[in-house]
Amino acid sequence: MATLGDRTVIRKSDTGTGRTGVWLVGARGSVATTAVAGCAALAAGLHEPLGMITETAVFEGCRLPSIGSLVFGGHDIAEVSLCKRAEELVASGVLPHTLPGAIYRELAEADAAVRPGGPAPDDRRSDEELIADFAEDICAFVREKGLARAVVVNVASTEPILDPARKRLPVSALYAAAALRAGSPYVNFTPSTGLHHPALAEAAAASGLPYAGRDGKTGQTLLRSVLAPMFRQRALLVRAWSGTNLLGGGDGAVLAHPGAAAAKNAGKARVLADTLADVPDGRVHIDNVPALGDWKTAWDHVVFDGFLGTRMIMQALWQGCDSALAAPLVLDLARLTAAAHAAGLSGPLAELAFFFKDPEPGAPGGLADQWRALLAFAEQLRGAT
């Protein structure tokens, strides 16, 4: 990796035409910061676009908004600026330690477009008022930046599973409703409720907007989505599939909370249920290990039976950086839903199951089938005129 000077980032088109907004719910978190910084670094030509599927040949001719045309803003309840977060991510090795000043200028620009999320504990606004305020924030962003459209992407911390008897909408659903009201395509990169709330079903259907979710598939579940079909296709009987995830950062602390872990694990379990003949035994643990920072170790242990019942074992160890795995997918999803919107597509984009742990109903569960669905989607975008 060459040490790069303080190059000027390639200018985004001065006219608003064609510029696409990416409105991040959780705009000052690790994933958002990595996405914004990385987008600037790629636009400046400082790195190969590793981890980004939309920059591969597969999406050539698909009329996706260019990397350099993306403009960032979002909601957050955190006060720590994107620049400060980037410095922390440099220190923990998530971002390269040679991040030039031009990148920091892009981060500052995105940070200036962040609006307060909510609600704070003493907030008196009703759900309806919150939705209206959030939607207005998004509309103002589009207006002021002169954007063709803005895509809303939820990258906030995982919400605990809530008591279904609760009267008020979960916060993630408020933001999703705001996206609909602002006429924005919506992507839920987390296991939180978002658009999946029954109270939003009608509005979603009537909106004419495309949307996709949920819960980005970055590590352990990605692995499971190729390993489970392998066992199935080979007629090997998976008896137990156990897993432990160790992670630090903010995510570790949030996911160690039983409610959030339950939300996360539901998605992780789905891939096995969807791709194996029988759901195997086995639990998944998520432990907070602060010393790991933004890095994660995931251990998988699979007990399976082969010919004449011979018992065998496979184990996998995944040591990855969640923010670095998630950020390019967030950019991919923003570009793809923006293009879908431009092409007049609406409703759930099951073709994007490739990206998610818990995709839209009816989507295939194995990665290979999801990949083919994605190729077909690329073909569809290419054909749209």
64 vs 292, which CB is nearer to a copy of itself? Answer: 292
The single residue among 366, 373, 377, 381 that binds a copy of itself, judged by CB under 8 A, is: 366
173 binds a copy of itself (CB under 8 A): no
Cis peptide before 214 (omega within 30 of 0): yes
| Least spacing, CB of residue 98 vs a copy of itself, in Å | 8
Query: Other CB atoms closer than 10 Å to residue 61's CB: what's the count?
Result: 11
Site for a copy of itself, residues 23 to 82, rule: CB under 8 A = 34, 38, 41, 47-53, 55-56
The C-alpha atoms of residue 287 and residue 284 are separated, in whole angstroms, by 10
281 binds a copy of itself (CB under 8 A): yes
Q: Helices 82-91 and 30-43: crossing angle, nearest 10°?
A: 90
Q: Which stretch binds a copy of itself (CB under 8 A): 17-25, 107-115, 123-131, 301-309?
A: 301-309
Taken as a whole, the chain contains a residue count of 385
Q: One symbol per residue from 239 to 278: x for binding a copy of itself (CB under 8 A), - otherwise; what is it?
A: xx-x-x-x--------------------------------
235 binds a copy of itself (CB under 8 A): yes
Is-contact 68 38, C-beta < 8 A?
no
| Least spacing, CB of residue 100 vs a copy of itself, in Å | 12
Site for a copy of itself, residues 322 to 341, rule: CB under 8 A = 324-325, 327-328
| Least spacing, CB of residue 293 vs a copy of itself, in Å | 8
DSSP string, 180-200: HHTT--EEE-SSS-GGGSGGG
Strand order in the sheet with 210-213: 114-116, 70-76, 20-25, 149-154, 186-188, 210-213, 347-348
83 vs 226, which CB is nearer to a copy of itself? Answer: 226
Beta strands 295-305 and 186-188, pairing class: unpaired
Per rule CB under 8 A, count of chain residues that contact a copy of itself? 79
